[in-house]
Amino acid sequence: MHDRSGDNILPRRDTSWGRRLREPRRQGAIIAAYFAQFLKSRMSYRVDFVIDLTANLFSLGVQLTVLTVLFGKIDALRGWSYEQVLFIYGFSLLPLGLFNLVGVNLYNFSEQYIIEGNFDRVLLRPVNSLAQVMFSSFGINGLNELVLGSAVMIYAGGRYGLSFSAVDIMLLPVFAVSAALIFAGVFLGLTSVSFWFEDRMGLAPPVYNVIRFSRYPLTIFHPLVRALLTFVLPFAWVAFYPAAWFIGGEEFRLLALLTPLVGILTFTLAYVVWTRGSRRYTSTGS
């Protein structure tokens, strides 16, 4: 049994082409059913649902107020104007929103699936195990971030006198999705660690807390921090580099174009770790 991945413990699937073509549709339908189920349970606390959205708005309001107050004191932050910083901030909300839609389950994976042994159930079902975990509940707030991030970008871009070429418009969603893949990769990697160690330490929170500072122009940080955010924990690619394509100088253009590559690389690496980890999974027993 050990040569097979956790997904394939069940008898081998029908590998004919007709079956293969139907497979994505079948998995899609199952994921849609997960979503409907989640909405039902979420809507049973309607008041809290509304307050949750309000909380998100507050958070955005606070961030914008802080930026506005700080820029009331200066003309530019190490050469970056209010509009440029605002644009980076707006852009950063797009990948974060996309990731929050499906990534919430990675945060408490260790507790919910490994320690409580719920991963047994996941492995018994003939749907990709990662998809099941990620789609078992949704962070609806992500939609909020998508809408507000776009609004902030349009406002900042307008004030900056930005004009989008056809290429820019095509690149924007590509960058946003690639950056979301970086988030997914980083947190999936951290989550997968719990297959080897029971993550009593909670490695995700400190990493999550770095996000709020990755929204500032990278050049305000110490060169060592810049290098860390570029090569080790690639959060420079989730906001600053891709956003700099639109509002930054020439020197960032090439780096911005690497965003999809970094996204795919990060996620693939994390997925390999996840697959190897889930093979190691031995239930809690009993």
Partner 1 sequence: MPETAITVPGNEFERWRRGGAATAGLYVSFARLAFLKFLAYRLRYYTGVVSYTVFVAGNYYLFTALFASRPAGEELIGGLTLAQMISYVILSWVGRSFTFNNIDRTLAQQVVQGEIALQLIKPFHVQTVMLSEALGEALFRLLMFTAPILLVVVPLFGLSSPPDPALYGWTVLSFALAFLVNAQLNFLVGCLAFYLKNIIGVIRAKMVIMEFLTGVLVPFTFFPAWFQSAMEWLPFQAISYVPVTVYLGLRTGHDLIISLIVQAAWALGLFVLGRLLWSVSVKHVTLQGG
Q: Rounded to the nearest whole angstrom, what is the least distance from the CB of residue 218 to partner 1 in the complex?
A: 10
Mark residues 223-242: x for contact with partner 1 by CB under 8 A, - for none. Answer: --x-----------------
Q: Rounded to the nearest whole angstrom, what is the least distance from the CB of residue 68 to partner 1 in the complex?
A: 10
Q: Rounded to the nearest whole angstrom, what is the least distance from the CB of residue 222 to partner 1 in the complex?
A: 7
What Rg do the C-alpha atoms of the chain give, in angstroms?
Answer: 21
Mark residues 183-202: x for contact with partner 1 by CB under 8 A, - for none. Answer: -----------------xxx
| Footprint on residues 112-171 left by partner 1 (CB under 8 A) | none
> For partner 1, which is the closer residue by CB, 27 or 59?
59
Residue 23 interacting with partner 1 (CB under 8 A):
no
Considering only the stretches 22-30, 143-151, 206-214, 244-252, report the one whose residues sit in contact with partner 1 under the rule CB under 8 A: 206-214
> For partner 1, which is the closer residue by CB, 62 or 261?
62
Pick from 10, 32, 43, 55: which binds partner 1 (CB under 8 A)?
55
> For partner 1, which is the closer residue by CB, 122 or 218?
218
Q: Are 84 and 71 in contact (CB under 8 A)?
A: no
| Torsion on CA atoms 209, 214, 219, 220, rounded to nearest 10 | -40
Distance CA 175, CA 169 (A): 10
Considering only the stretches 68-76, 86-94, 253-261, 273-281, report the one whose residues sit in contact with partner 1 under the rule CB under 8 A: 68-76
Residue 65 interacting with partner 1 (CB under 8 A):
yes
The CA–CA distances, whole Å, from 170 to 156, 164, 165 equal 19, 10, 9
Residue 220 interacting with partner 1 (CB under 8 A):
yes
Pick from 2, 18, 24, 75: which binds partner 1 (CB under 8 A)?
75
Residues that bind partner 1 (CB under 8 A): 45, 47-52, 54-55, 58-59, 62, 65-66, 69-70, 72-79, 200-203, 205-206, 209-210, 212-213, 216, 220-222, 225
